[in-house]
Structure formats: structure tokens, C-alpha cells
């Protein structure tokens, strides 16, 4: 199994204010799979994504990627893990504000010894003309495209997407989903996408629904449609 998660638990706070966010998550992800994590706010899906991304650490349980147990990794090893395996896409894009579109993508390329060509990526995401603009001078959709460019240029094994269309209008959101779908198909990148938009599960291979820190439903999509066909 490419990614295996067992009995994952995580809580925040102490005493009376303690909140159990993940109460024992078991899940597996195949290489090249497009997985959706669905659920309402506070269900624990973003925490789960952060733990997979090595940003946060679980209280209990294990996360094993390609046979490597993340729980046994030091901070330095976790940094290398993120550097070599992961690409991140955030709801609020999280671009570096004083770098241009091109430079934000190059920041991703710097992390890989065999990154993709920057100009090719710029063409793929349709931002060749905007490449010398700062993030504040382009639209939200273009910023999210840049964010995708930054994530995929280093050819990550897993693309972690946290509500990537949450701040975008319908059309722009759809464009972004198409782009993520392309990355998934073109580079065989495993995609794990957090969303609370139930419609999106129709473009994923599988959807896990979380509630109160537990997986309450697993939906295997036998009638997967393309992002182009998606309406929500």
C-alpha cells in the first residue's frame, strides 16, 4: 500500500477544553489515486491532511508512506519527506507575496533535483503572460493556478489539496479542479483533496466522509466523471 494510516488520534487543548479532533482513523491510499476527504467544518479533515503532510503530529497511531513510518521520523527527516514527496495546495493560495508568479513556482522547483521545466508549467497553468506579476496583481483563480504550479513542478508523489476551490467562484473553481485532475492523470500523482463540497466526490476515485473525527462513510466512485463534466 502506498499510504497507510492506522488508528490515528489527535486532540487539542487540555482538561475541560480538550477537543478530540481525530478519534481513530484507519485508511489506505493507493498510488495515483484521487481521494476526497469530505465533511463539515470541525470534522477533522484538515487535521488529517496536516498529519499526512507532516505539518502536525498525531497523539497516537501511525502514518506509513512507501514503508516509512512518519512517526519515527525526526524533524529533519520530516522536512526531507515533505520536500521529496509532497505538494501542497491551500484554500487561500499561500503564495509568497513579494515573489512573482514565476518565482513562486521556482520556489517549488528549487526543492527538487529533477523538477519540471518552469516555462512548461507556466504554459500548462495558462499564466505565461502573468509570470512577472506579483500575486496581488492577479485574480484569485490565477493565484490558485500559481499555487498548483508551485506544487506540481517538483513532481511530488502526493498532492495535498485543502479546499482548493473554497475561495473561488464556480467557473474558476472548475478550472482549478480540471487542472488538479490533469496533474493526477498526467503525472500519476496521488491526490488527497479536503472539501466540504459533496459534488466534488464525483471526480474522485474514492471519498471518505468524516464526522467528529471518525470516518463515517467510504464512497468508491464507479461512475467517475471528468472535472469538465462536473456541475455543482
Helix (H) / strand (E) containing 87: strand 86-89
Look at residues 101, 99, 141 and name the one whose alpha carbon lies nearest to residue 123.
Answer: 101
Q: Check residue 92 for interaction with another protein (CB under 8 A).
A: yes
- Judged by CB under 8 A, which of 59, 132, 217, 229 binds another protein? 132
Residue whose entry in the numeric block shows the C-alpha cell 467544518: 41
Q: How far apart are CA 48 and CA 31, in angstroms?
A: 18
Residues 6+ apart with CB under 8 A from 90: 147, 162, 163, 164
Contact call for residue 108 and another protein (CB under 8 A): yes
* Residues between 16 and 75 with contacts to another protein, criterion CB under 8 A: 46, 50, 53, 55-56
Q: What dihedral do alpha carbons 205, 78, 183, 95 form, nearest 10°?
A: 120
**Minimum CB–partner distance for residue 103 and another protein (Å):** 6
CB 191 within 8 A of CB 171: no
Out of 96, 216, 218, 225, the only residue in the binding site for another protein (CB under 8 A) is 96
CB of 12 to another protein, least distance (A): 11
Please identify, among the stretches 133-141, 179-187, 203-211, 212-220, the one whose residues bind another protein according to the rule CB under 8 A: 133-141
Q: Which of 4, 11, 62, 94 touches another protein (CB under 8 A)?
A: 94
Q: How far apart are CA 18 and CA 121, in angstroms?
A: 44
Contact stretch for another protein (CB under 8 A) within 94-102, 163-171, 189-197, 212-220: 94-102
> Should residue 90 be labelled a site residue for another protein when binding is judged by CB under 8 A?
yes
Task: Please pick, from the candidates 31, 137, 186, 188, the single residue that binds another protein as defined by CB under 8 A.
Answer: 137
Span 149-178, contacts to another protein by CB under 8 A: 150, 162
Helix spans in 33-169 (H): 45-52, 75-85, 101-109, 118-124, 140-152
Span near another protein by CB under 8 A; candidates 24-32, 92-100, 163-171, 180-188? 92-100
Q: Is 1 helix (H, G, I), strand (E, B) or coil?
A: coil
Alpha-carbon gap, residue 3 to 118, rounded angstroms: 29
Catalog residues that contact another protein under the rule CB under 8 A.
46, 50, 53, 55-56, 76, 79-84, 86, 88, 90, 92, 94, 96-100, 102-103, 106-111, 132-134, 136-137, 150, 162
Amino acid at each position: 500500500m502506498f499510504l497507510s494510516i492506522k488508528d490515528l488520534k489527535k486532540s487539542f487543548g487540555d482538561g475541560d477544553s480538550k477537543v478530540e479532533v481525530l478519534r481513530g482513523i484507519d485508511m489506505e491510499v493507493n498510488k495515483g489515486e484521487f481521494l476526497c476527504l469530505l465533511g463539515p467544518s470541525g470534522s477533522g479533515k484538515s487535521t488529517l491532511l496536516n498529519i499526512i503532510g507532516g505539518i502536525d503530529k498525531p497523539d497516537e497511531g501511525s502514518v506509513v508512506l512507501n514503508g516509512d513510518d512518519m512517526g519515527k521520523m525526526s524533524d529533519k527527516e520530516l522536512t526531507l519527506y515533505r520536500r521529496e514527496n509532497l505538494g501542497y495546495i491551500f484554500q487561500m493560495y499561500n503564495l509568497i507575496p513579494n515573489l512573482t508568479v514565476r518565482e513562486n513556482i521556482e520556489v517549488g522547483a528549487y526543492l527538487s533535483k529533477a523538477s519540471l521545466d518552469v516555462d512548461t508549467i507556466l504554459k500548462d497553468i495558462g499564466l505565461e503572460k502573468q509570470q512577472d506579476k506579483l500575486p496581488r496583481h492577479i485574480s484569485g483563480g490565477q493565484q490558485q493556478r500559481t499555487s498548483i504550479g508551485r506544487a506540481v513542478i517538483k513532481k511530488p508523489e502526493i498532492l495535498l489539496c485543502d479546499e482548493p476551490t473554497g475561495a473561488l467562484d464556480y467557473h474558476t473553481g472548475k478550472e482549478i479542479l480540471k487542472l488538479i485532475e490533469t496533474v493526477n492523470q498526467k503525472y500519476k500523482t496521488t491526490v488527497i483533496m479536503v472539501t466540504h463540497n459533496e459534488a466534488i466526490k464525483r471526480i474522485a476515485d474514492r471519498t471518505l466522509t468524516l464526522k467528529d473525527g471518525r470516518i463515517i462513510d467510504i464512497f468508491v466512485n464507479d461512475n467517475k466523471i471528468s472535472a469538465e463534466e462536473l456541475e455543482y
